[in-house]
Amino acid sequence: MLQRFVSASFVASIGIAFGAVVLWMAKHIWTLQNTHQLALMWCCIPAIWGVWAMLTPRSWMPDRLPVWGAILGLLACANAVFVLNLPQKILGEYVSAFYRAVGVLIAIAVYYLLWMVVRLVYRALRGPEQAEKDFRAAA
């Protein structure tokens, strides 16, 4: 379980660092006043990803881990976009439901790709001996 938590938290931390660099580079669009909610959420994301990885059904480990991550992406992004309405709060303009839905679909795809990396990190943490045992058990 700890390996699941560590692998997901690690990837989330790297993703947040990358997102912070992107926000910093686009500082003419983004200001601290309109991104404080995003920054607060980002503080919790590594822990949320770690807990989500620990909740993964045992039969889904590690092959279906990207699908499990995409489910988290659907839940998190739908809440951020439709419930909290972060696009309007950050941009200061109304964003139509169509474009918000497209954003959620893109976020789900990004989450899927990031959770593929989580799967790779998880396998790397398991070590070659355990990976060989898992391979033999699956065959």
Q: What is the rounded distance in angstroms from the CA atom of residue 15 to the CA atom of residue 56?
A: 20
Whether the pLDDT of residue 139 is over 60: the answer is no
Residue 106 confidence (pLDDT): 93
Please, are residues 14 and 128 in contact by the beta-carbon 8 Å criterion? no
Going by pLDDT thresholds of 50, 70 and 90, the confidence category of residue 116 is: very high
- DSSP symbol at 83: I
Q: pLDDT tens for residues 13-72?
A: 888 888 778 777 776 666 666 666 667 777 888 898 899 999 998 888 888 889 999 999
| pTM: predicted TM-score of the whole model, two decimal places | 0.74
CA distances from 27 to 30, 88, 95, 121 (A): 5, 17, 20, 32
Residue 137 confidence (pLDDT): 60
Residue 67 confidence (pLDDT): 92
Share of the chain above pLDDT 90, in %: 23
CA distances from 23 to 19, 69, 80 (A): 6, 24, 17
Residue 105 confidence (pLDDT): 93
Q: Distance of alpha carbon 58 from its chain centroid, rounded?
A: 20
Cis peptide upstream of residue 62 (ω within 30 degrees of 0): yes
Residue 109 confidence (pLDDT): 94
